[in-house]
């Protein structure tokens, strides 16, 4: 019932379950750190059998080589045959659903876990605590992150999706995972759920999370209240209500500055205030002031070439661009680009985001052919990393068509 509510984003049910979600997370955390899975091999393989729609399967195929996160607690088994039996049970049940009969595909997840690696998302062998001990269940917490290694199809038509639990102890993925989780928060609760729903584009449901949590708080000057205001400010910003975004961001900043919380949280508030000044007030000088404050804290916390620092340089570049200071904007974008190319997979869409804006700078200084080159480089990355309906891809292809018309004139 809990996972069903998570998948369907049933906010009312999730609010009822919020203490169970937190308690389950804490129990998994305790089991993970105090009762490590014992095995003679350093790698443990677990399995999960289920049905996926063709759309979901295609999404997985397009995610090969990338990181994915499941919006539920993920139940797996150490016994392959048990996972296969769940596929059979699910397939038999689906026969009574004519509309779904041709759409659902049989899928077996094979998940490799490096037992020597470090992850902040706990998982545990819960066989000793399970009513069905023969299932040898290993449970992953909500929001666990995996890398999609590949997908094959067996002779009997089952799609085998090979996943690897993302490791924070490996240098190639450590910072990328930190960057992903900075938007998803570590401990699952209603506020972190709101942030996830916002990233998924479910703005109304995200707003419900923040508003309901705010109503339940006795102290509206607390850290939890600041988290709600940050979420509401981000929502207002992405929906174009810049004045409201400014008000929420200002409230969150006031609380965080008075509470003297960690630099990372304060840098988020500074970044949001900068965006609010740019969008709501057209006050680019104040926007730069807050962007630079955010950059200073990120540099102090994460180092000078982290992905968070790259994000700050990107935002500063955007502000300079809107000021018409194209030469300075170009320098900031290039600094962001160098860090992202160093830290991210070469086909990551965040690299394309910078390329698009560099192209826009060159277009505005009438270096049309160079601009086209950057737009086309971005297009190749977007095509490999985003669905065809994604707005960033659509907008950039419009840029390419527009600039080709300019060249013809």
Q: What pLDDT is recorded for position 56?
A: 87
Give the tens place of pLDDT for each residue, 1-39.
555 555 555 556 555 556 566 677 778 778 877 666 666
DSSP-derived secondary structure for 292-341: HHHHHHHHHHH-TTSHHHHHHHHHHHHHHHHTT-HHHHHHHHHHHHHHHH
- Looking at domain 190-408, its CATH superfamily turns out to be Tetratricopeptide repeat domain (1.25.40.10)
- Best-predicted range by mean pLDDT among 106-110, 192-196, 271-275, 347-351? 106-110
The residue assigned the tokens 């916002």 is 198
Same fold for the domain at 36-171 and the one at 190-408?
Answer: no
Q: What pLDDT is recorded for position 186?
A: 52
**Residue ranges covered by each domain of the chain:** 36-171, 190-408
Listing from the earlier edge strand, what are the strands of the sheet with 159-165?
67-69, 145-153, 159-165, 104-114, 43-53, 74-77, 137-140, 123-125
For residues 70 and 77, give the distance between their C-alpha atoms in angstroms, rounded to a whole number: 16
For residues 354 and 335, give the distance between their C-alpha atoms in angstroms, rounded to a whole number: 10
Domain 36-171 fold: Toxin ADP-ribosyltransferase; Chain A, domain 1 (3.90.176)
Average pLDDT over residues 255-275: 80
What does the mean pLDDT of the chain come to? 83
Inform me whether the pLDDT recorded for 184 exceeds 60. Answer: no
Residue 172: pLDDT band with limits 50, 70, 90: very low
Average pLDDT over residues 321-330: 96
Inform me whether the pLDDT recorded for 266 exceeds 80. Answer: yes
Inform me whether the pLDDT recorded for 168 exceeds 60. Answer: no
Q: What pLDDT is recorded for position 32?
A: 78
Average pLDDT over residues 35-46: 74
* Range with lowest mean pLDDT among 2-6, 125-129, 197-201, 278-282: 2-6
DSSP-derived secondary structure for 176-235: HHHHHHTTT-SS-SHHHHHHHHHHTT-HHHHHHHHHHHHHH-S-TTSHHHHHHHHHHHHH
How far from 130 is each of 75, 89, 386, 387, CA to CA, in Å? Answer: 12, 20, 40, 39
Biggest CA–CA distance in the chain, Å, is 73
Give the tens place of pLDDT for each residue, 94-113.
777 655 456 889 999 999 99
Q: What pLDDT is recorded for position 100?
A: 47
Q: Which two tokens stand for residue 53?
A: 């729609």
Q: Which two tokens stand for residue 61?
A: 């195929």
């Amino acid at each position: 019932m809990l996972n069903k509510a998570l998948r369907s984003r049933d906010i009312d049910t999730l609010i009822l379950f919020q203490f169970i979600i937190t308690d389950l997370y804490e129990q998994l955390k305790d089991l993970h750190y105090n009762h490590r899975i014992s095995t003679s091999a350093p790698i443990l393989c677990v399995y999960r059998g289920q049905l996926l729609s063709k759309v979901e399967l295609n999404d997985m195929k397009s995610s090969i080589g990338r990181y994915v996160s499941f919006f539920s607690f993920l139940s797996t088994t150490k016994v392959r045959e048990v996972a296969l039996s769940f596929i059979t049970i699910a397939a038999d049940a689906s026969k009574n659903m004519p509309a779904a009969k041709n759409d659902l595909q049989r899928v077996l997840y094979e998940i490799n876990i490096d037992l020597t690696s470090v992850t902040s998302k706990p998982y545990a062998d819960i066989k000793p605590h399970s009513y069905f001990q023969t299932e040898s269940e290993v449970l992953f917490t909500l929001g666990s992150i995996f890398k999609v290694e590949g997908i094959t199809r067996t002779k009997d038509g089952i799609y085998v999706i090979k996943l690897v639990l993302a490791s924070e102890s490996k240098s190639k993925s450590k910072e990328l995972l930190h960057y992903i989780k900075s938007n998803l928060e570590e401990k699952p609760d209603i506020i972190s759920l709101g942030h996830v729903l916002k990233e998924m584009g479910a703005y109304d449901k995200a707003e419900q999370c923040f508003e309901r949590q705010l109503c339940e708080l006795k102290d509206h000057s607390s850290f939890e209240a600041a988290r709600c205001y940050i979420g509401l400010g981000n929502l207002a910003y992405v929906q174009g209500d810049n004045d409201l975004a400014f008000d929420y961001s200002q409230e969150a900043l006031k609380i965080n500055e008075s509470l003297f919380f960690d630099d990372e949280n304060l840098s988020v508030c500074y970044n949001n205030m900068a965006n609010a000044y740019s969008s709501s007030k057209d006050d680019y000088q104040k926007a730069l002031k807050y962007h630079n404050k955010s950059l200073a804290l990120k540099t102090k916390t994460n180092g000078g070439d982290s992905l968070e620092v790259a994000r700050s340089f990107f935002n500063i570049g955007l502000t300079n661009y809107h000021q018409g200071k194209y030469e300075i904007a170009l320098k900031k974008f290039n600094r962001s680009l160098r860090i992202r190319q160093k830290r991210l997979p070469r086909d990551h869409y965040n690299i394309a985001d910078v390329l698009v804006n560099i192209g826009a700078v060159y277009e505005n200084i009438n270096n049309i052919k160079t601009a086209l080159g950057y737009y086309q480089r971005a297009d190749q990355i977007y095509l490999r990393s985003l669905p065809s309906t994604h707005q960033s891809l659509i907008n950039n292809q419009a840029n390419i068509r527009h600039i080709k018309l300019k060249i013809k004139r």
